[in-house]
Amino acid sequence: MKFPLVAIILALSTSFGAIADVLKIKKDAPKQYVVKKGDTLWDISGIYLDEPWLWPELWQMNPQIDNPHLIYPGDALALIYDADGNPRLVINKAYRKLSPQGRITPKGLNAITTLPLQMIKPYLSYEQAINSDDIKNMPYVLGANENTKTQTLGHILYVKGDLKVHGAYAIYNEGEPYRDLNTGEVLATRASYVGMARAFRSGDESNGLPSSLRVESVKREIKQGDFLMPAMEGQLLPAYFDIHRPLEPVEGQVIASPRQVREFSRMDIVVLNLGSEQNIEPGHVLDLERESPTVIDGPRGPRYPEDSSKFEKLLSDASQLFSNKADEDNTTWKMPKEKVGELIVFKVYDKVSYALITKNQHPIRVGDIAVIH
């Protein structure tokens, strides 16, 4: 089956800048691929490219794919090359099993997404990283119409704060703070969604009267002190991300995991000490690097610090303090950083962001460096 060549476009997307080299397709990439349920644009691009974040270059300017976000399970994709040798993915219309009429309305809900939403949805919908000072000013649960410490579906909540009657409010539990590993600064506070309630009686805080809400849904038990935000605030669920590298150099760290573990792998979620204040955006692709262990080269030969004697460590520390009189018999070698993985940022706050690990050569750890040079 022959496919029409795609017209070459000299000006590439401004999101990526000028790319002089032709995209390199994997040697084992298939000539044709049938989209499966659960596929994402990232998954499919990863079949063809070592750097899936370049997927817009592979899909761009194809007449058969006006919008690559609107391809569906059952579509057959063919790999072709344009007149200048640029690889492109197009839809093989001859293979398509579904009639055009069958594609018009109901299938729009089933178009494949950029990233695996089933993995990140809990963190888009149920996780917040909120400024600690903001939490102090939010309405919070005083108690309920049942004299118990935890509340559930159907209970009436009494809340400190003047809320709008008929307004829907999400209820959050305040968790541990996210801190910068180097300075100890509190960057944000983790907030976990616990339920939804609707106000039916306004309060009057000046006269000591609480607002009243009826619990409509519960994810976990609601407790005294849990705070409220308007429903859907910070809970947007985008299906598509503009995946691209930051235009300027940036460097931060993996500071935590919502799962509260210290080592992670592909498709795990991590928290970075980078946010909108560092010009981080949803869709940014960052490398993960780790500094190789320091080596002390002394009279007994090169050794890692933990294997060196106390005297060698002392000399090494002294040579670093007085570099102009460094001990010639003990040299401290600070080794370079090496790439250990990649991640995509999908949710951004002022000083922190949530990211999905998409590639790792070694287990990713708290403290690893998220960077673009």
**Closest Cα to residue 152, out of 141, 163, 168?**
141
- What pLDDT does 149 receive? 66
Those residues with Cβ within 8 angstroms of residue 209's Cβ, 6 or more apart along the chain or in another chain? 203
Whether 105 has a pLDDT exceeding 60, the answer reads no
- What pLDDT does 223 receive? 92
3-state class (DSSP) for residue 119: helix
Whether 310 has a pLDDT exceeding 70, the answer reads no
- What pLDDT does 106 receive? 38
Question: Rounded CA gap, 354 and 370, in Å?
Answer: 12
Whether 284 has a pLDDT exceeding 60, the answer reads yes
Do the beta carbons of residue 147 and residue 106 sit within 8 Å? no
φ, ψ at 152 (rounded to 5°)? -145, -170
Please name the amino acid found at residue 8.
I
111: confidence class by pLDDT, cuts 50, 70, 90 = low
The DSSP secondary structure of 270-296, one letter per residue, reads EEES--GGGT--TTBEEEEEEEPPPEE
Whether 346 has a pLDDT exceeding 60, the answer reads yes
324: confidence class by pLDDT, cuts 50, 70, 90 = very low
365: confidence class by pLDDT, cuts 50, 70, 90 = very high
Question: Rounded CA gap, 49 and 243, in Å?
Answer: 14
- What pLDDT does 146 receive? 82
- What pLDDT does 242 receive? 80
Other CB atoms within 10 Å distance of the CB of residue 363? 13
**Per-residue pLDDT averaged across 230-236, rounded?**
74
- What pLDDT does 4 receive? 33
21: confidence class by pLDDT, cuts 50, 70, 90 = low
- What pLDDT does 236 receive? 61
User: Which domains occur in the chain, in start order?
Assistant: 1-112 (no CATH), 129-230 (no CATH), 250-291+337-372 (2.40.10.340), 295-333 (no CATH)
**Per-residue pLDDT averaged across 178-205, rounded?**
94
Residues of the chain with pLDDT > 70, as a percent, come to 76
- What pLDDT does 95 receive? 61
The residue ranking higher by pLDDT, 64 or 372, is: 372
φ, ψ at 233 (rounded to 5°)? -70, 120
